[in-house]
Structure 1
Amino acid sequence: MEDKRAAVTALPALFADLVRCETRLYNALNDRLREQHGLTTAQYEILRYLHDHPEARVADLATEFAAGVGAISKGIDRMENLGWVERRPNPTDRRSSLLALSHNGSDLFDAAQKTFTTRLTELLADLPALTTVARTLAHLRTTLEDRRIGLPAG
């Protein structure tokens, strides 16, 4: 019982550590991606998702990133205007579009992926027990997603 009470007491510090680590990693990656490729970490993540999931819809991105459909759609609009993403008619649902990387978007992703991976390796490769941390965070993410926790309301 004492161990459980101590664990519960430690939860706010765990939350703070998770959030602060995510923010610092995100900012460090964002700085490098902006400097070398002129895109943000959020844009890189969308390019990565579209690279890995051809013909995704805005709704698919919203689910993946736990973000509102409107916010994702506006981000896609900006990326389309930059020539990185293309919208194509969805043959099974006229209300939605299928998204794809343009040729420029694909080239940008390939270059940015190298930068992203190099910077992430610089920041995390020497972390003790990296495999255990990765496995634990993957389990936490899966649990939250399976329970549909933290999705935007609209």
Structure 2
Amino acid sequence: MSELRQVFDDLVRVETALWNAVDTRLREDCGLPLGRYESMTVIDRRESCRVNDIAADLIITVGAVSKLVDRIAAAGHCVRRRDPADARSSIIELTDTGRALLAHAHNVVETELAARVDEVIPRRALTDLASTLGILRRRRG
């Protein structure tokens, strides 16, 4: 197996294992699936967040995001407001309940990642990995 293929296999397997571990903790501690957490994080960090913004940030389809936002709204964690600049679009905002849940969820995610990554990889290697993955992510197009 080539080195590139090994890197690909390892990245995919590690991502899957991390996703599953964090998802399990979020569901247990917050009743929040990781996909919804990820979407809520995008909503929280944007001034005016639209479905297209979430799709672009998470690299998933607009249809998938629309369904995620519907579920987050049904749970009372976000609302859609008409975009004053574009009547065809909505601005998505977290509710106070959604912001409180997200703050708790951030702590759960940080704790799980610390146990699974930070305690295993030396700080310098983690910094190098973050830099390398950032380069790869920016080249996604």
Q: Shared fold by TM > 0.5?
A: yes
In the TM superposition, residue 9 of structure 1 has moved relative to its aligned partner by 2.4
Q: Secondary structure of 1:55's match?
A: coil
Do residues 54 (structure 1) and 50 (structure 2) align?
no
Assess if the C-alpha contact under 8 Å between 1:87 and 1:99 holds in 2.
yes
**Counterpart residue type for residue 104 of structure 1:** T
Assess if the C-alpha contact under 8 Å between 2:41 and 2:102 holds in 1.
yes
Q: Could you tell me how far apart the structure 1 residues matched to 2:128 and 2:41 are?
A: 24
In the TM superposition, residue 55 of structure 1 has moved relative to its aligned partner by 1.9
Query: What root-mean-square deviation, in Å, do the aligned CA atoms of Structure 1 and Structure 2 show?
Result: 1.2
Assess if the C-alpha contact under 8 Å between 1:84 and 1:103 holds in 2.
yes
Deviations 1:7-65 (A, max 9, x none): x9211111110100000000000000000000111111111111111321000111111
Q: Could you tell me how far apart the structure 1 residues matched to 2:47 and 2:77 are?
A: 14
Question: Which one has a bigger Cα radius of gyration?
Answer: 1
Do residues 136 (structure 1) and 136 (structure 2) align?
no
In the TM superposition, residue 118 of structure 1 has moved relative to its aligned partner by 1.0
Indicate which of 21, 24, 27 corresponds to 1:28: 21
Q: Which residue of 1 aligns with 2:102?
A: 109
Assess if the C-alpha contact under 8 Å between 1:54 and 1:99 holds in 2.
no
Indicate which of 48, 60, 65 corresponds to 1:67: 60
Q: Which residue of 2 aligns with 1:9?
A: 2
Do residues 92 (structure 1) and 85 (structure 2) align?
yes
* Greater share of strand: 2
Which 5+ residue runs of structure 2 have no aligned equivalent? Answer: none
Q: Could you tell me how far apart the structure 2 residues matched to 1:78 and 1:104 are?
A: 14
Runs of 4 or more off by more than 6 Å in structure 1?
Answer: none
Q: How many pairs are equivalent?
A: 138
Task: Give the % identical residues.
Answer: 38
Relative to the length of structure 1, the TM-score reads 0.86
In the TM superposition, residue 67 of structure 1 has moved relative to its aligned partner by 1.0
Q: Which residue of 2 aligns with 1:79?
A: 72
